[in-house]
Amino acid sequence: MEIKEINAENLTPREINSQIKEAAKDYDKILIKNPNAKHYLAAGVVDDTEIEFDGSVGYFAGTMCDGAKIKINGNAGWFVGDNITGGEVIVEGSAGDGAGQGIYDGTVVVKESVGSRTGEIMKNGTIIIGGNSGFMTGIFMMGGRIIILGDVGDDVAESIIRGVVYVKGEIKSLGNNAKFDELTFQDSLELEETLSKYEFDIDDYSKFKKIVPKSTRPFYGH
């Protein structure tokens, strides 16, 4: 495997992204040293390459990518993995609000906890949170899966249209148009297959709660 190393310490986000996109044409893996929580890193990468950040990143890391496999060895700011259309973004630490916002496909994994509005307006794909998630997780979901291994705040799946939210921990409250559904044996198998791929060790998959839309055509107002 050919690896390209980029020292981002004295580079602007624009310069870092330019070097990433150029390296993605020729290298199997790109290692970014000293990202120093800069914003918009690895934005818009469409090549099938591996990108690894040796440290924490800021807002919108991995936004609008398609096919790249991004690993962040630290924490991430707001909207990590925003609007990806394929590939995966893995955060080894925690992340801010809006993790996986608007994704069309692919997988966003945060090994620890996140802020609020996880998976807002997501269309498809999978979001996995290893810790807790804040209020309005899954708001305006149009499809896909959100899997929360910890607790989740108020108004889960607010105004959900399609998709499903699985929560292993405690749930403060459900949002409008959200309801609990029976967790099937097939659900448990799919959860085990998905979570084991990302090295989550779960002792009892039957403890997950399943949240789905009441209606795919909700009406709000009077």
> Which residues is 162 bridged to in the sheet?
142
| Rounded Cα–Cα distance for residues 63 and 58 (Å) | 11
> At 16, which helix (H) or strand (E)?
helix 13-24
Would you give the distance in Å from CA 72 to the centre of its chain?
12
Kindly list the domain boundaries of the chain, sorted by start residue. 41-213
Judge: domain 41-213, CATH 3.20.20.140: no
93 DSSP assignment: S
**184 closest CA partner among 151, 215, 167, 209:** 209
What is the C-alpha to C-alpha distance for residues 188 and 108, in angstroms, rounded to an integer? 20
For the chain, first and last CA: distance in Å?
60
Determine the Cα–Cα distance for residues 4 and 22; give it in Å rounded to an integer: 10
Give pTM, 2 decimals: 0.96
Q: Are 65 and 44 in contact (CB under 8 A)?
A: yes
* Residue-level pLDDT at 217: 74
The owner of tokens 């791929």 is 197
pLDDT tens-digit map of 105-158: 999 999 999 999 999 999 999 999 999 999 999 999 999 999 999 999 999 999
Residue type, 101: Q
Q: Decide if pLDDT at 222 tops 60.
A: no
DSSP 178-198: EEEEPPPHHHHHHHHHHHHHT
pLDDT of residue 221 exceeding 60: no
Question: 44-98: per-residue pLDDT in tens?
Answer: 999 999 999 999 999 999 999 999 999 999 999 999 999 999 999 999 999 999 9
Contacts of 218 (CB under 8 A, 6+ apart): 159, 161, 176, 177
Tell me, what's the pLDDT at 101? 98
Strands 69-72 and 88-91: parallel
1, pLDDT greater than 80: no
